Amino acid sequence: MIRFHKEGYKIISITFIIAIVVILLAENFIDINWLIKTIQVLVLGFVIIVLQFFRNPERITSLNDHQIIAPVDGKVVVIEEVEEPEYFKDKRLQISIFMSPINVHVTRYAMSGIIKYSKYHPGKYLVAWHPKASTENERTTVVIENKTIGEVLYRQIAGALAKRIINYAKEDDQVVQGTDAGFIKFGSRVDLYLPLGTKINVKLGDKVKGGVQVVAEI
């Protein structure tokens, strides 16, 4: 059974209403049969695109306090040692995962622990792979801490099409690895900032599966 994320319920409902109205108007006010069929196909295609974007497949996470899982589906576009300026203000290992509009856009907690920091930043809508996207785009920054790995930061970053980031993380919440942490609407990216010395299990260009694939471990 296909599941859809709760953040899409309103948009999906509106999409179905618009689709029905357009189809009925076409059938009642257009006399050209091929044009009616074309409109119906286009409307159906639009509905399918909206449905696939908000799909929320069930993922079974093997809980492990030594492992960090992919928080989202997508392609690994950055693996490097960087200075993290907002929270740590020191060197960290960064893994960035880019999500295209056809990827599942549910954000999942990369590890279990306590939310130590959660902050929303308004900003620009540069393309998600732009080097300045992580500091200038609309974004949320969340830090999770557990006793095994310590503190790990993840950042949801809006892309050129994404106009709303949903973040469920609240400071002092106890969260479970692999559970729903939020949603980003239409094309985006998530950055992970890990302690130096963390073993990275992915390479540039890898396609990862959120909630199940181990991207790093201690």
List, by residue number, the catalytic residues: 188
Q: Which residues of 173-205 are buried (b: 16+ CB within 10 A; e: fewer)?
A: eebebbebbbbbbebbbbbbbbeeebeebbeee
Please, are residues 168 and 183 in contact by the beta-carbon 8 Å criterion? no
HSE, CB side, 13 Å, CA atoms: give it for residue 17: 6
Tell me, letter by letter, the H, E, C secondary structure of 135-160. HHECEEEEEEEECCCEEEEEEEEECC
Per DSSP, 8 falls in state G
In this structure, the chain runs to a length of 218
* R_g over Cα of the chain: 20
Please, are residues 124 and 160 in contact by the beta-carbon 8 Å criterion? no
**Which candidate, 114, 119, 120, 133, places its Cα nearest to that of 190?**
133
Sign of the dihedral defined by the CA atoms of residues 195, 197, 203, 204, in that order: positive
